[in-house]
Amino acid sequence: MLSLCAQCDRLRLNETMFPNCWRKVFVLFDLVWILLNGICTAGLEVKGQYTTVRLWDEGGPFEITVLVAPLVTVVGKAHVSDDSEVTLASCFASKSQPAADVMWRLGDLNDSLRTETNYLVHPDGTFTVVSHLLGAPLRHLNQKKIQCVVTHSTQRTKEYEVDYVINVHYPPELVMIIPDDPTEPREFHCEADCNPRPSNYTWIKLNESTPHSHGDKLYVPKPASDLSGVYICKVSNQYGSASGVLYVNNQTESTSPCCSLCGFVFISIVLCICVVYIFQLKNVSRSRQSSSKRNKG
């Protein structure tokens, strides 16, 4: 009898082993596998001890290892902006053999987020690895791109990479009114920083009737004195509301949000000065009246 030494290579699913035929030593219901052209369509049931079969020799047993690639998925949902820690996203490497390695590429978010990894062993011997991404759903995380990276024995030269975009909901916080043409503005757009986008826009002209507007747009068709004044755009979504201010100067519109804001601030300062001045006049008048009464007394 010839002595046969053979190294059994690792199999992947649906891979065929040549040149020997193989016979499984332990099979269910006394079924013996003798395949003339190797092991075909390998599955988890093929894993175990085998002996090589040749016309002149039988050797073994040898251990055959079947590798099963993971199914990689990333799941997550939108969270309302808050300081409490939640699960922002979860990366699954499911039903693999052996267990996969799962990690996150977070870029500049490494210091503000953390991960937790759990392992699950299935009855058929496969593994599911879950990596949870944890952190407070703050506003600055909205639309940040991250990546789940999975490495496994079935992919020796590359990694499984799945992109994910963090979704954080928050109310409007900054509202700006932008002219369509800075040199000759006839139409203004109300823009708000919020997620989701505003569901309602309301335009108001201070101390006047409702101006000509549609949705996020305010129309000022031509320079005219009756169009001058302070315009307010109020935006809202399901989480809250905020307002922006535009000042239209007499017969010419302001050409930038900064100018609009400056005009409004200037008017506010003048009003405050007038109120303070009137208040001081009243105090002086009261002081004089008190002094006059004392002198008479």
Question: What is the value of pTM for the model shown?
Answer: 0.64
**Which pLDDT score is estimated for 3?**
28
Task: Please check the confidence at residue 28 and state whether its pLDDT lies above 80.
Answer: no
Query: Which of the given ranges, 37-46, 64-73, 171-180, has the highest pLDDT on average?
Result: 171-180
- Range 171-271 has CATH code 2.60.40.10: yes
Res. 185 pLDDT band, cuts 50 70 90: confident
Domain boundaries, the chain: 11-67, 71-166, 171-271
Cis peptide before 19 (omega within 30 of 0): yes
The architecture in CATH of the region 71-166 reads: Sandwich (2.60)
Q: How far apart are CA 140 and CA 168, in angstroms?
A: 9
pLDDT value of residue 283: 57
Helix (H, G, I), strand (E, B) or coil at 51: strand
168 pLDDT higher than 60: yes
Average the pLDDT over 220-237 and give the result.
82
The pLDDT confidence band at residue 158, using thresholds 50, 70 and 90, is confident
Q: Name residue 232's beta-bridge partners.
A: 204, 245
Cβ atoms of residues 237 and 171 within 8 Å: yes
The Cα angle at residue 134 between residues 128 and 138, in degrees rounded to 5? 145
**Do 71-166 and 171-271 have matching folds?**
yes
